[in-house]
Amino acid sequence: MTADDFAQIVNIVNLYAVATDSHRYELFEDIFTDDVHLDFGAGAAIDGLAILMPAYKDIHAVFSATQHMTSGHTVKVDGDEARCFSYVCGRFRRKLDDGEGLFESTGWYDDALVRTSKGWRIRKRISRMVTYTGDIRVMQAMPDVDTNYVLSSLFEEAEAGTVDFLES
């Protein structure tokens, strides 16, 4: 792995936060492959960039602000394939009938990337939530989204062999 590979991969993971929080979903073309698979746990998943972009637009439209912060990036490169494991903290703000509500969650991203002619792209993302706090009504504002969140722990997922980064 070169320092350039590491920097490009971390930049792609961080660009996701900027694209999401700024509602610039066209930037997803610089982040994900066309056949991307996102697994949010508890059966929630999105397949394909063409579905991801409008879905995110709809999902995030109800929030007055979001803030996604990634840290602790750990990267492995094997030729034209790579893995990146990072921690994420997400904040979601929404106007409610009785004022502004805030919801915060922490968790991780377990990303599989491929080198393309346009640079590194995320082909698969596993996203898991470890904790949450705040006003759950902020998240209940989204129709058809189950807010009975399943919380994970990294050590339990690792023991179960479901953290691809640790298995690679």
Q: What is the model's pLDDT at position 71?
A: 98
Q: pLDDT tens for residues 46-88?
A: 999 999 999 999 989 999 999 999 999 999 999 999 999 999 9
Q: Which residues contact 58 (CB under 8 A, 6 or more apart)?
A: none
Residue 146 has pLDDT above 70, yes or no: no
Average pLDDT rounded to a whole number, residues 107-123 = 98
Pairing relation of β-strands 99-116 and 65-78? Answer: unpaired
pTM for this one?
0.93
Tell me which residue has tokens 């399943």: 150
Q: How many CA atoms lie within 13 A of 56 on its CB side?
A: 22
Q: pLDDT tens for residues 38-53?
A: 998 888 899 999 999 9
Token pair of 84 as six digits: 């990146």
Pairing relation of β-strands 119-134 and 32-41? Answer: parallel
Q: Which of 99, 105, 97, 98 is closest to 134 using CA atoms?
A: 105
The class (CATH top level) of 3-167 is: alpha beta
CA distances in angstroms from 119 to 23, 80, 156, listed in the order given: 22, 10, 33
Tell me which residue has tokens 């596993």: 126
Question: 7-11, 19-23, 37-41, 124-128: which has the minimum mean pLDDT?
Answer: 37-41
CA distance 22 to 152: 28
* Cross-strand partners of 105: 90, 132
Q: Which residues contact 49 (CB under 8 A, 6 or more apart)?
A: 28, 29, 32, 33, 34, 35, 36
Average pLDDT rounded to a whole number, residues 119-136 = 96
What one-character DSSP code corresponds to residue 149?
P
Buried b (16+ CB within 10 A) or exposed e, 20-35: bbeeebebbeebbbee
What one-character DSSP code corresponds to residue 142?
S
